[in-house]
Structure 1
């Protein structure tokens, strides 16, 4: 299946001992992470951002994938990056944050730290719950993409939500919520004050249940869900580099 122009995975190689693995969200693409990846590369880090299976092509293609497919892709990328860099951080947006949390639950101290932007671990939206219940007969629903406050910015993502894939994501949410207490890595949790896709309760649930000794929160007051492309992107990018550097300094003592 041909990949949409601009949706391609990307790599930035450096000689740094620090690697950052980026993960995009559900129905979205690496395009949402590209400016962040460029900023991290300019800071001197080696960066990887894969295109998750079923993404960047058609929503019908996404409906043929399930959360273990997305997770396996991220885990392979982590393994490859770990062979190159002794310290690897995982950054994720939305479902990318969910997958990053799941990876942290499974791999423990192999991950040096996490930066999560509007991560999802549940939904209280009735339309989403109904859609997952109707997954066998309802192929798609209204799209989730494009929740950006900054005028003129467009997210490269599907205009429809693949419902069978969404039902699989809901199963990933349950597993990830259950195991949140096993997350002990340093964690920077960035969440938008107004988010029309992922309810604020998600960040609260993550913060209340992880056991990270170093847990920092950044509230993004001028951005909606896709904060990596929104008004607060410079704050987010700067904060993420400051976080990585502070974690490195603690590890060097």
Structure 2
């Protein structure tokens, strides 16, 4: 079967820089376009940045229908490996489902730190489709962004099979939180209409990281990387990454 064409603007992007690598993972039904602003700002600060496009995303909903959450895990692990080939330090940032994926990554590989943005461990609106294959496709509403200026590349409908893969990866990650021990910065929007804010508190309370921090995004909804607080995310993340990188260099 011929692979579906990637939607213009939805491609993976790699921005070369210094020895500090930043992996940025988009969320369910999103694409690297949703995190490109963050990536370009981090690259402007000198970091090496890679944002992979997860399998079945940024093409069409029929390709998404055939995707499995293990493919998304592999996409993130391959992105980490790509950065690790040229970078001394690698930090992983994940938004929504991307947050669940970088948490899973941190249970297996030596991340210097992870940062989550409204990480998804639950999506209440999707629970009704658990173990269901009918209807085949579920209509998607407008992306949950407080700022009405940006546009996010998403599908107008998503397959129920893919929704069940999302439910599976969230459950999988929830069970592994106790295995996360690297430094973590958790961004969360108190007003999020997709993922309950309680997910971020669950992460904070469960991970075994000795260095962990919560940061509120008061003026953003779910897709915070495209919302009013995006520059706050960049600056707070920059401080977190710089602090940890310097600590590692001194220790070595």
Asked whether the two chains share a fold, i.e. TM above 0.5, the reply is: yes
Name the stretch that deviates more: 155-164 or 228-237.
155-164
The reply on whether 1:10 has 2:7 as its aligned counterpart is: no
The number of equivalent residue pairs is 247
Deviation of 1:58 after TM superposition, in Å, equals: 0.9
- The Cα RMSD (Å) is 1.1
Distance of 1:189 and 1:144 partners within structure 2: 26
Which residues of 2 match residues 168-207 of structure 1 at below 5 A? 168-207=165-204
Which residues of 2 match residues 56-135 of structure 1 at below 5 A? 56-107=58-109, 110-123=110-123, 125=124, 127-134=125-132
Deviation of 1:90 after TM superposition, in Å, equals: 0.4
- Deviation track 1:190-224 (CA, whole Å, cap 9, x = no partner) reads 01121111111111111110011111111000000
When normalised by structure 1's length, the TM-score is 0.94
Deviation of 1:145 after TM superposition, in Å, equals: 5.0
Regions of 4+ moved over 4 Å: none
Distance of 1:30 and 1:190 partners within structure 2: 19
For structure 1, which runs of at least 5 residues remain unmatched after alignment?
none
Q: Among 213, 218, 229, which residue is 1:221 paired with? A: 218
For structure 2, which runs of at least 5 residues remain unmatched after alignment?
none
Distance of 2:61 and 2:204 partners within structure 1: 32
Which residues of 2 match residues 138-149 of structure 1 at below 5 A? 138-143=135-140, 146-149=143-146
Tell me the SS of whatever aligns to 2:191: coil
When normalised by structure 2's length, the TM-score is 0.95
Change (3 A) 1:239 1:51: same
Tell me the SS of whatever aligns to 1:217: strand
Q: Among 154, 162, 165, which residue is 2:151 paired with? A: 154
- Deviation track 1:96-154 (CA, whole Å, cap 9, x = no partner) reads 111000010122xx21000100001123x2x41111232x2321213155110012221
- Deviation track 1:145-168 (CA, whole Å, cap 9, x = no partner) reads 511001222111111122101101
Distance of 1:137 and 1:230 partners within structure 2: 33
Contact 2:134 2:160 in 1 (8 A): no
